[in-house]
Structure 1
Amino acid sequence: MKTRQIIIFICALVATLLLARSIKFFDRSTVVAQANTNLLVSAAASLKESLEQAGHIYRQNKANVTLNYNFGASGALQQQIENGAPADIFISAATKQMDALQEKGTILTDTRRNLLTNSLVLIVPKNYSGIADFRDLTGSKVKKIAMGEPRSVPAGQYAEQVFKNLGILSQVRPKFVLGNNVRQVLAAVESGNADAGVVYSTDARTSQQVKVVATAAENLHSAIVYPVAVLKSSKNMAAAREYIQFLLSDRAKTLFKKYGFGIAR
């Protein structure tokens, strides 16, 4: 009888040790998984510097999260997402692209927020003179005007609205040099390949080779708003939600203001 009890005791002890080891292994695996969390943020090109800096701040308290970025024109990013390209978070430079994804059921609607605002400016090469207003673009001195492709680049859509509302669209359209994103527009003016360009004020601030000569009145174009949302295809939804909360925090807002953005209400 005693021998049987001893055997039962030994079996129970072994089972307990194996269970404890299994639990320890599971916990350690969970920690490793958390340590390897990767978030891919598809965002408008105009956010490049500010988001990268925000990412450095975020990882001071979230060292287990690796942030990767896919910057481009909002329309192009929208199409990539619709075609199944991987991404956890989308930040557009206009509501149009986010609306399109929402209509197709691609985003988590409860995570959608209006994050930032911006303004539209007319820029010229630093030493260029003779242009002081959008209407001056109709003059014979101006041969090339850089702007985003209106079909995919929100800054281009806003620019086209400005020209239309000023009644000069038909006069300036033949001069358009279209870029695939707002940074291409900036580069065209910096290099002198365009006499003038239309970009966001935040983009103009990143360059020492251009100067702002005019800011478009807000009533000449749709409100410039940057919405953000988590995508339903995200494999890291909890981490993505946390990241968006950080972008909405006072610390992040202070950073975005430093880069010239307004805070959406």
Structure 2
Amino acid sequence: MNSALSTLLATGLVAFGLAAGSASADEVQVAVAANFTAPMQKIAADFEKDTGHKVLLSFGATGSFYVQIRNGAPFDILLAADAETPARLEKEGLGVPGSRFTYAIGKLVLWSTKPGFVDGKGDVLNKSDFRHIAIANPKLAPYGAAAMETLTRLGLLSAIQPKFVRGESIAQTYQFIATGNAELGFVALSQVLNKEGKLASGSAWVVPASLYMPIRQDAVILTHGKDKVAAAALMKYLKGDKARAVIKAYGYGFY
């Protein structure tokens, strides 16, 4: 075989390999509950590197995503902040039967940017030295519902409710606290931890799980993504050790 033919064949094989690689790559659009922003950004980057698939992420309130999906938003996967929404979508024919699973158990935290302001037992809630407390809309955000349940069980809801600054998502609630519009507030533990799993700033009280119903966060493949290779691959990846290590590092639990 002459050198010219060898070069031509080699070039063709390389071109074929690139084409095959491109053909096998897929894209998946994922609606992600705002509390899961940081871990999902890390997981998505790892997934893209490990598989070659591309991930497009949108972050927001689970309740808002439900409305968007009902109205035809082209999401392939929903990573919800609750279990009810994915189950409802599946029942309504908008989720792929059998694809739903719990990817994380969320934890609620009372947080302030001020060091020492929130004590380790949450006794700050019994004091009157704060004017505003941030909470996510309980109708849209499961962490907001958990906060309401916590205050109710502590017998503090009626006293504290006039001080509420309400965010439409857990991300907006976090911003209210971070910018000082509220001295403290209830957010997801994952939002206040750094990559080492330690409190990034301020002071916090991790609310005992006995004070609210478990925040079971479920994922489901939506009908728009039922035939997408990348959607199935990402759901499998979320169950793997690499993704679970990231999820655990951000303060989530598992069943």
Q: What is the percent sequence identity of the aligned residues?
A: 26
Map of 2:109 onto structure 1 = 121
Question: Which of 228, 239, 249 is the matching residue for 1:237?
Answer: 228
Residue type of the alignment partner of 1:245: K
Equivalence map 1:241-256=2 (5 Å): 241-256=232-247
Whole-angstrom distance in 1 between the partners of 2:118 and 2:59: 34
Aligned to 1:152: 140
Please give the secondary structure, in 2, of the residue aligned with 1:80: helix
Deviation at 1:131, TM superposition (A): 5.4
Distance 1:175 1:95 in 2: 29
User: What does residue 24 of structure 2 align with?
Assistant: 34
Distance 2:76 2:118 in 1: 46
The CA distance in 2 between the partners of 1:73 and 1:40, in whole Å, is: 16
Q: Which amino acid aligns with 2:37?
A: K
**Corresponding residue for 1:19?**
none
Are 1:56 and 2:23 an aligned pair? no
**Structure 2 match to 1:224:** 215
Q: How does 1:44-193 map to 2 (within 5 A)?
A: 44-63=33-52, 65-127=53-115, 129=117, 133-134=121-122, 136-193=124-181
TM-score by length of 1: 0.81
Change (3 A) 1:245 1:220: same
After the TM superposition, which residues 187-226 of structure 1 pair with which residues of structure 2 at under 5 Å, given as runs? 187-206=175-194, 208-212=200-204, 214-226=205-217
- Give the superposition deviation at 1:83: 1.0
Gap regions ≥5 residues in structure 2: 1-16
Question: Do 1:122 and 1:198's aligned partners in 2 also have CA atoms closer than 8 Å?
Answer: yes
CA distance in 1, matches of 2:65, 2:96: 17
> Distance in 2 between the 1:237 and 1:69 partners?
16
1:108-156 deviations in Å (ceiling 9; x for gaps): 1211111111211111122363755445324321210101011101110
Query: What is the CA–CA distance in structure 1 between the aligned matches of 2:164 and 2:135, rounded to whole Å?
Result: 7
Given that residues 204 and 211 in structure 1 are in contact (C-alpha distance below 8 angstroms), is that contact kept between their aligned partners in structure 2? no
1:190/1:209 contact within 8 Å kept = no
1:15 is matched with: none
- Cα distance in 2 for residues equivalent to 1:141 and 1:126: 13
Q: Check whether the contact 2:38–2:191 (CA below 8 A) recurs between aligned residues.
A: no
> Is the Cα contact below 8 Å between 1:148 and 1:185 reproduced in 2?
yes
Q: Quick one: distance in 2 between partners of 1:56 and 1:28? A: 21
Distance 1:57 1:129, change over 3 A: closer
State the SS of the aligned residue for 2:225: coil
Bigger radius of gyration among the two: 1
Partner of 2:6: none
Partners of 1:236 and 1:148 in 2: how far apart? 35
| Counterpart position of 1:3 | none
Preserved contact between residue 147 and residue 199 of structure 1 (Cα < 8 Å) = yes
Q: Give the match's secondary structure for 1:233.
A: helix
Amino acid at match of 2:74: P
Given that residues 31 and 59 in structure 2 are in contact (C-alpha distance below 8 angstroms), is that contact kept between their aligned partners in structure 1?
yes
Secondary structure of 2:72's counterpart equals coil
Paired residues, number: 236
Structural RMSD (CA): 2.3
Q: 1:124·1:195 contact (CA, 8 Å) conserved in 2?
A: yes
